[in-house]
């Protein structure tokens, strides 16, 4: 009897012990899942010059597997904005991936005047490295002017460099900056008479075989064909007339109308570079990104990889034809199809539910100023150089010389410090005198001095955005902001760069593993993306991050 009781006790104890151990393991596993999400692949998508309303305007024309997949099955931040100016491509890509603004990451424009060397510099340019894949200088690039880390850097560091980062774009800066400082590779398109993807010796000494194979397959050549509308043009009801005075022309065209015969326009418009300014540039980017999944073996193990893809051709099309054009509507309908086949490739090669995506834009864009004026909306087009004689006269009268201003770059006046020191005025007084003068010029809405931005902390309004875009070591002495919907630009097409909502309001969509399904109209900002992804992945934030995680995006 005693043995039977003892045996029963030991059996029960064994069951309890095993159950408690199993529960402990389950609890530990659940705790780990609460700490972080481990997608096999993170995919960052940037659409160049995409306004948020391109989601809503063209929604009924989109298929089910592109933008609609992200909106319907992911999380939509409807009130997402850039929190700085200038809103341009280089700063946009840097801000998305660093979670910071130009004030911190240092990429203040696509190109800018370097106060140290006295020369203009390009945000991704670096003569310390050589081109790989071309004899041209198109590959002399690196991320060295971005002075903080990116979310891609942090994932590499968190995985002891075992997780791979690959960045892809038509534009070099659209690949170099998202890839960060530790990318395994950044690849971009070189058109001209070559039509292939290249890189820099910053990443490697020669192209991998899969890229040589891709380039030699005449992947770009198949897009040398007429650009016609994807759907019947009379169904394009969310854009203006096809033939109007607000759109630009390719060389050799007499009117900006469909079809655009690329075969006839080829030689006079940069040959393979012409594809960049059509939807086919995006299609080629999608082709290359899909090839990279196998070529780089992305998402094939439990260590997260990162694929950064920037669709650049939307920007070229927007600049040429304007945000209200049939061409812009068509480029987004075709991009929707490219996204759909890209997502299907991810489903097949990485696995449904095994990857996480975010999609946003590097900036938005304003409508054509002439079109707005004709529509009785306050707007204007100015010739900034027309004010130079008046400004030079002011400088001579006030300071005795025009040499007090060294240069004007990106709507910023850079002063010659040695000349200022010889004046019977402080630097603050010189800056303010110039600001007061320029504020009276046609089309100018605001003028800020460096002294203002150093001495004050602005928390809202245009001043806040200008301050976030101001970098103490790199920005100028006097910053000019034009009136809303005023530009110093071509009479045709669209541009961007301002602190106003038409340039700051961009889409922000999340989808996939670890992402909650839903939407919000609460304001989110571009630096929040990197902070959100770092929180999802359970890794350190980028070193200059100023954004905050968007709590609603992450699964409960």
Active site residue ranges: 89
185 contacts: CB under 8 Å, gap ≥ 6: 166, 167, 179, 199, 203, 204, 208, 296
Contacts within 8 Å (CB) and 24+ apart, 254-260:
256/321, 256/325, 256/327, 258/227, 258/228, 258/229, 258/233, 258/326, 258/327, 258/330, 259/226, 259/227, 259/228, 259/229, 260/226, 260/227
Phi, psi of 184 (to 5 degrees): -65, -35
Can you state the percent helix, strand and coil of the chain, rounding each to 5? 40, 15, 40
- β-pairing, 412-415 with 405-409? antiparallel
Encoded tokens for 126: 């670096």
Q: How many whole angstroms separate alpha carbon 463 and alpha carbon 461?
A: 5
> CA nearest 418: which of 432, 401, 435?
401
The CA distances from residue 502 to 50, 414, 450, 548, in Å, are: 10, 28, 26, 23
Query: Using alpha carbons only, how large is the chain's radius of gyration in Å?
Result: 26
3-state DSSP assignment of residue 390: helix
Strands 185-190, 165-169: pairing is parallel
Q: Which residues pair with 44 in a beta bridge?
A: 308, 358
Q: Residue with structure tokens 């190109």? A: 111
């Amino acid at each position: 009897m005693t043995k039977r009781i003892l045996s029963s006790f030991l059996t029960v104890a064994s069951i309890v012990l095993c159950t408690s151990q199993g529960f402990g393991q389950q609890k530990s596993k659940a705790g780990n899942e609460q700490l972080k999400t481990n997608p096999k692949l993170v995919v960052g998508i940037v659409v160049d010059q995409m306004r948020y309303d391109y989601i809503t305007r063209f929604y009924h024309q989109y298929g089910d597997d592109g933008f609609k997949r992200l909106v319907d099955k992911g999380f939509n931040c409807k009130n997402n904005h850039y929190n700085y100016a200038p809103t341009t491509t280089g700063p946009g890509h840097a801000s998305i991936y660093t979670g910071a603004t130009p004030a911190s990451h240092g990429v203040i424009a696509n190109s800018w005047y370097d106060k140290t060397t006295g020369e203009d510099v390009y945000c991704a340019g670096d003569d310390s490295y050589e081109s790989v894949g071309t004899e041209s200088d198109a590959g002399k690039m690196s991320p060295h002017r971005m002075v903080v880390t990116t979310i891609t850097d942090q994932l590499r560091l968190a995985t002891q460099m075992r997780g791979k980062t690959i960045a892809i774009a038509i534009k070099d800066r659209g690949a170099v900056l998202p890839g960060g400082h530790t990318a395994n590779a950044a690849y971009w398109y070189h058109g001209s008479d070559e039509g292939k993807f290249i890189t820099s010796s910053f990443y490697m000494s020669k192209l991998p075989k899969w890229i040589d194979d891709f380039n030699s397959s005449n992947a770009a050549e198949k897009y040398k064909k007429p650009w016609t509308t994807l759907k019947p043009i009379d169904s394009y009801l969310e854009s203006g007339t096809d033939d109007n005075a607000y759109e630009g022309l390719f060389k050799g065209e007499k009117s900006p109308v469909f079809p655009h015969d690329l075969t006839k326009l080829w030689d006079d418009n940069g040959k393979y570079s012409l594809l960049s300014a059509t939807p086919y540039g995006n299609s080629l980017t999608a082709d290359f990104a899909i090839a990279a999944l196998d070529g780089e073996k992305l998402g094939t193990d439990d260590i997260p990889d990162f694929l950064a893809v920037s669709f650049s051709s939307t920007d070229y099309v927007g600049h040429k034809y304007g945000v209200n054009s049939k061409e812009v509507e068509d480029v987004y309908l075709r991009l929707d199809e490219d996204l759909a086949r890209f997502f299907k490739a991810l489903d097949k090669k990485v696995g449904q539910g095994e990857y996480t995506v975010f999609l946003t834009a590097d900036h938005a864009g304003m409508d054509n100023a002439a079109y707005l004026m004709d529509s009785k909306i306050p707007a204007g087009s100015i010739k900034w150089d027309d004010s130079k004689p008046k400004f030079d006269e002011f400088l001579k009268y006030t300071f005795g010389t025009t040499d007090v201003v060294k240069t004007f770059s990106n709507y910023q006046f850079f002063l010659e410090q040695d000349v200022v020191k010889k004046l019977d005025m402080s630097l603050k007084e010189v800056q303010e005198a110039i600001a007061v003068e320029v504020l009276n010029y046609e089309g100018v809405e605001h003028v800020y001095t460096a002294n203002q931005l150093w001495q004050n902390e602005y928390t809202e309004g245009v001043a806040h955005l200008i301050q976030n875009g101001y970098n103490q070591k790199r920005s100028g002495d006097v910053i000019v902001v034009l009136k809303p919907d005023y530009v110093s630009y071509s009479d045709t097409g669209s541009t961007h760069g301002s602190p106003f909502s038409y340039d700051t309001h961009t889409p922000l969509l999340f989808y996939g593993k670890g992402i909650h399904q839903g939407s919000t109209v609460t304001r989110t900002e571009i630096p929040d993306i990197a902070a959100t992804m770092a929180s999802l992945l359970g890794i350190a934030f980028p070193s200059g991050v100023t954004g905050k995680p968007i709590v609603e995006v992450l699964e409960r």
